[in-house]
């Protein structure tokens, strides 16, 4: 019991990074799964730090950016996720965005989800990765329900830094199931999810990876997978899990999530589209739809003259 409330016996751990293109492409299925499991599991995010402090700087940043933009384009070809028309640079570090995402969790899951989503959109919609603390805080500005002053203070706190350091370490202790070729991965999968080798000779989780832990054991779903694969892993520990994600009307879904990509619209909504007041933001990989309230403070609309 915590605060008089029962703690769900099943934990879902999402290994991720705010600036990871595969994690961005997995947002539709993870949003659907979180909605289906709401109140039935404890969902915990671990920030892996994809772009670390000790990464060697590129000898030619322009060439690196061009290469990375093509890399993201290739991933978007599989996930159908939006991608920026122009990427200004490769992120220098994931630490600032991870600190802000971790700090946002102290203000509740809805605020945390919205802040993390804004951080992802800085690179994959705007092409300006939030790789400084100022940029990450600015991206979160105006999120409904957010206390911006508290977010800034918490993101700079020792407690949040310790939390992200613990995430960094945990992500580098992958379970044995992902250390070799993942047997459950489809043969034609573009992202099978085998753990990545780190510069020190160790390993970290491929992103994203979902680990489901419960009284009956553990299930691991690494890499990029369709919704049904994640649902089956969670369903092994949560009998009665719906076989399809909950769908809402376009207006209700947009109000709930703030922004929706086309893959999310297809998976998570029903009925007529777009709803009244929806704001369309163009990207090189299809539109991003903003709720009217979100459009008032979103960085994409702030950039519009």
**Across-strand partners of 214?**
217
What average pLDDT score do residues 5-31 get?
91
Please check the confidence at residue 210 and state whether its pLDDT lies above 80: yes
Q: Which of 271, 269, 289, 273 is nearest to 281 (CA)?
A: 289
What average pLDDT score do residues 14-21 get?
98
The Cα–Cα gap between 128 and 176 comes to 36
Which tens digits make up the pLDDT trace of 219-249?
A: 999 999 999 999 988 888 877 766 678 899 9
Q: Which of 34, 41, 43 is nearest to 15 (CA)?
A: 43
Q: Which of 136, 19, 27, 15 is nearest to 84 (CA)?
A: 19
Which tens digits make up the pLDDT trace of 94-129?
A: 999 999 999 999 999 999 999 999 999 999 999 999
Q: Which of 202, 222, 197 is nearest to 13 (CA)?
A: 222
Please check the confidence at residue 265 and state whether its pLDDT lies above 90: yes
Q: How many CB atoms lie within 10 A of CB 173?
A: 10
pLDDT, greater one: 161 or 235: 161
Half-sphere exposure of 6 (CA within 13 A, CB side): 6
């Amino acid at each position: 019991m915590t605060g008089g409330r029962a703690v769900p016996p099943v934990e879902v751990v999402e290994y991720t990074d705010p600036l990871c293109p595969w994690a961005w492409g997995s947002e539709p299925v993870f949003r659907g799964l979180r909605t289906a499991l709401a109140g039935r599991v404890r969902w915990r995010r671990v920030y892996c730090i994809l772009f670390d402090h000790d990464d060697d700087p590129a000898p030619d940043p322009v060439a690196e950016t061009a290469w990375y933009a093509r890399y993201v384009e290739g991933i978007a070809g599989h996930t159908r996720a939006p991608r920026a028309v122009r990427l200004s640079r490769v992120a220098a570090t994931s630490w600032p965005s991870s600190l802000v995402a971790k700090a946002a969790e102290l203000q509740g899951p809805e605020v945390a989800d919205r802040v993390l989503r804004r951080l992802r959109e800085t690179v994959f919609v705007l092409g300006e990765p939030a790789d400084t603390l100022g940029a990450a805080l600015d991206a979160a500005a105006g999120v409904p329900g957010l206390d911006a002053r508290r977010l800034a203070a918490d993101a700079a706190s020792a407690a949040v830094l310790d939390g992200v350091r613990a995430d960094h370490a945990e992500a580098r202790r992958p379970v044995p199931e992902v250390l070799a070729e993942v047997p459950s991965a489809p043969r034609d999968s573009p992202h099978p999810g085998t753990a990545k080798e780190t510069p020190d000779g160790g390993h970290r989780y491929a992103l994203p990876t979902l680990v489901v832990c419960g009284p009956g054991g553990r299930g691991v779903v690494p890499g990029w997978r369709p919704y049904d694969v994640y649902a089956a892993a969670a369903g092994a520990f949560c009998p009665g899990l719906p076989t399809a994600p909950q769908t809402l009307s376009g207006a209700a879904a947009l109000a709930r999530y703030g922004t929706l990509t086309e893959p999310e619209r297809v998976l998570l909504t029903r009925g007529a589209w777009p709803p009244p007041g929806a704001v369309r933001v163009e990207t090189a990989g299809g539109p991003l739809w903003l709720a009217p309230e979100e459009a008032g403070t979103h960085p994409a609309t702030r950039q519009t003259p």
